[in-house]
Amino acid sequence: MRALEGFVRSMDALNDWVGRTVAWLTLGCVLTCFTVVVLRYGFNIGFPWMQELYVWQHAAVFMAGAGYTFLHRGHVNVDVLYGRLVPRGKAWTDILGTLAFLFPWLAIVAVTSAPFVLSSWSIREPSSTADGMPAVYLLKSLLWVFCALLFVQGMALIVRRGLMLAGHGMTDHDQDAVTDERA
């Protein structure tokens, strides 16, 4: 059981760290966008790479931060029935919902994006804009980062709920304690 608890804590810590790290890109996005606007409208100067940079930063926040949001239960839920369930019912709902909805959806995203990402890597795709950001293939790879981080957080949720159902603790309070240590 310690190994399973360690897995849960490791995945929670990973997504918490990634989320807190990419959150700083929000500030970078605002500052970059502000700079683009000042340069363009104040000085009639434009840098295509800078305009693309804040789009990249925005994309990274959402794609790499999805696991963090899932960890902290920040995604939209339909709580019509879930809120009324006892803890065991919630645990089963989380397990079955993750297996029936999240994992298949992530598999579809990963598989259908594969040609898109792989072809971009094969040609080391640059921006289609002159003087734009290089290495667009890195941006496109965020699709797989998104899938991977949500998948491991989904696995952690299933293990956490399974441990709770088996009577071995590992509640959301334990999750909060792990992430609160980092705050």
- Across residues 161-176, what is the average pLDDT? 74
Q: How far from each other are the two terminal CA atoms of the chain, in whole angstroms?
A: 27
Per-residue pLDDT, 80: 77
Task: Band the pLDDT of 81: cuts 50, 70, 90.
Answer: confident
Cβ–Cβ under 8 Å, residues 58 and 50: no
Q: For residue range 7-26, what is the model confidence (pLDDT) as tens digits?
A: 999 999 999 999 999 999 99
Which structural domain, as residue segments, surrounds residue 30? Answer: 2-180
Q: What percent of the chain has pLDDT over 70?
A: 91
- Across residues 45-52, what is the average pLDDT? 94
Torsion of CA 11, 17, 20, 24, to 10 degrees: -130
Number of domains in the chain: 1
- Across residues 102-110, what is the average pLDDT? 97
